[in-house]
């Protein structure tokens, strides 16, 4: 009764070139392939690995003399950081804003991605262009554009006051809300493109199968399309979250001193207060927080009842 050979195996066998030929090809291309990677590996080592290790080293020095002589190695920087409520609250604000930005980008991005996945190739190209166009404008220019909209006497507040919904201006700018608006807007394209990729990968006949079994379009969406697009949702959220955690320009311009997110605080420590060692410790705590959050988030999905989707 057990079928002899599965369809997938068969396809794979047909698709593969004869063994001998394949081996030859592999041996030939292997070494030059690695050689091509040498420049980029050197580049990454020199300009990423070395400075990162140096910053890690600095973070364990508790005096401000950077040269070896008077340096005292300790965990003092980290202890200060975790006992001072200013830094802890900065970390919390950063996480909160990044989570909210991911959520807003997801809520706004999913319908766009869904529309894209269902439209004709021509329409899809147009939407892609529209979605990606903000990336073509410098982030600084865009931030000043938002100023015009969000200032207490800006377009949105004047409009709302004119029609009488509010009687004093909302704190849209220089608030957490402003930063979330800016970040979610800036990183929306990443969310949309991540989700749309996973929507494309869903076999359209699954939705047909679901319909013929009696599921309404809404039901099919929640039972089939949404779960199967989870990989896109997860990678989109991870992207937007990590980008938001490390964003500097948008929080600095949209939040100012009212919203001291970690990258702004780090910049302040290093560039204004010249606290290199403490700034280094702050950077590493930010990095670790991002990595741990992302790890927990993706793990949670990979262990959930939808784990099969992530294979």
139, 186 contact by CB (below 8 A): yes
Q: Distance between CA 264 and CA 248 in Å, rounded?
A: 6
The span from the first CA to the last CA of the chain, in angstroms, equals 28
15 lies in the site for another protein, by CB under 8 A: no
6 to each of 17, 19, 206, 212, 311, how far by Cα in Å?
19, 21, 20, 26, 19
Q: From the CB of 226, what's the least distance to another protein, in Å?
A: 10
121 lies in the site for another protein, by CB under 8 A: no
Choosing from 80, 223, 275, 298, the residue that interacts with another protein (CB under 8 A) is 223
Choosing from 91, 113, 186, 228, the residue that interacts with another protein (CB under 8 A) is 228
71 lies in the site for another protein, by CB under 8 A: no
Cβ neighbours, 10 Å, residue 12 = 10
Residue 294, both tokens: 């992302």
Considering Cα of 134, then 137, then 141, then 145, what sign does the dihedral take? negative
Alpha-carbon torsion, ordered 104, 107, 108, 113, to 10 deg: 140
292 lies in the site for another protein, by CB under 8 A: no
13 lies in the site for another protein, by CB under 8 A: no
Choosing from 34, 107, 213, 273, the residue that interacts with another protein (CB under 8 A) is 213
Toward another protein, which CB reaches closer, 68 or 214? 214
Toward another protein, which CB reaches closer, 39 or 214? 214
Choosing from 98, 210, 235, 290, the residue that interacts with another protein (CB under 8 A) is 210
Cβ neighbours, 10 Å, residue 45 = 10
200 lies in the site for another protein, by CB under 8 A: no
235 lies in the site for another protein, by CB under 8 A: no
59, 77 contact by CB (below 8 A): yes
Give the burial class of 103: count Cβ atoms within 10 A of its Cβ; 0-12 exposed, 13-18 middle, 19 or more buried.
middle
Toward another protein, which CB reaches closer, 168 or 311? 311
214 lies in the site for another protein, by CB under 8 A: yes
The footprint of another protein on this chain (CB under 8 A) covers a number of residues equal to: 32
Looking at the DSSP bridge assignments, the partners of residue 73 are 61
Ranges within 130-189 binding another protein (CB under 8 A) = none
Choosing from 16, 64, 84, 203, the residue that interacts with another protein (CB under 8 A) is 203
Residue 200's H or E segment, with its range, is helix 176-200
* Residue span binding another protein (CB under 8 A) among the ranges 103-111, 136-144, 150-158, 206-214: 206-214
Choosing from 103, 108, 199, 206, the residue that interacts with another protein (CB under 8 A) is 206
Q: Which residues bind another protein (CB under 8 A)?
A: 1-8, 10, 203, 205-206, 208-217, 219-220, 223-224, 227-228, 306, 308-309, 311
């Amino acid at each position: 009764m057990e079928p002899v050979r599965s369809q997938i195996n068969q396809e794979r066998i047909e698709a593969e070139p004869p063994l001998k030929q394949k081996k030859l090809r592999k041996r030939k291309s292997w070494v030059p392939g690695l050689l091509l990677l040498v420049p980029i590996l050197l580049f990454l080592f020199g300009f990423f690995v070395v400075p990162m290790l140096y910053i890690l080293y600095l973070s364990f020095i508790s005096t401000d003399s950077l040269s070896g002589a008077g340096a005292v190695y300790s965990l003092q920087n980290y202890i200060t950081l975790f006992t001072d409520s200013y830094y802890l609250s900065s970390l919390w604000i950063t996480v909160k804003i990044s989570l909210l930005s991911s959520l807003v980008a997801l809520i706004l991005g999913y319908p766009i991605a869904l529309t894209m996945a269902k439209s004709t190739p021509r329409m899809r190209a147009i939407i892609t262009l529209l979605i990606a166009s903000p990336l073509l404008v410098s982030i600084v220019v865009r931030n000043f554009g938002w100023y015009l909209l969000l200032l207490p006497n800006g377009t949105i507040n004047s409009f709302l006051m004119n029609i009488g919904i509010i009687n004093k201006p909302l704190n849209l700018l220089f608030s957490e809300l402003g930063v979330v608006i800016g970040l979610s807007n800036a990183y929306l394209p990443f969310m949309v493109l991540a989700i749309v990729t996973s929507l494309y990968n869903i076999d359209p006949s699954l939705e047909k199968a679901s319909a013929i079994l009696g599921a309404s379009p809404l039901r099919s969406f929640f039972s089939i399309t949404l779960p199967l697009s989870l990989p896109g949702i997860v990678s989109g959220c991870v992207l937007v979250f990590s980008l938001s955690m490390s964003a500097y320009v948008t929080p600095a311009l949209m939040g100012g001193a009212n919203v001291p997110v970690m990258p702004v605080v780090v910049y302040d420590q290093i560039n204004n207060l010249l606290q290199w060692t403490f700034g280094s410790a702050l950077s590493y705590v930010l990095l670790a927080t991002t990595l741990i959050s992302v790890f927990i988030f993706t793990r949670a999905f990979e262990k959930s009842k939808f784990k099969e989707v992530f294979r």
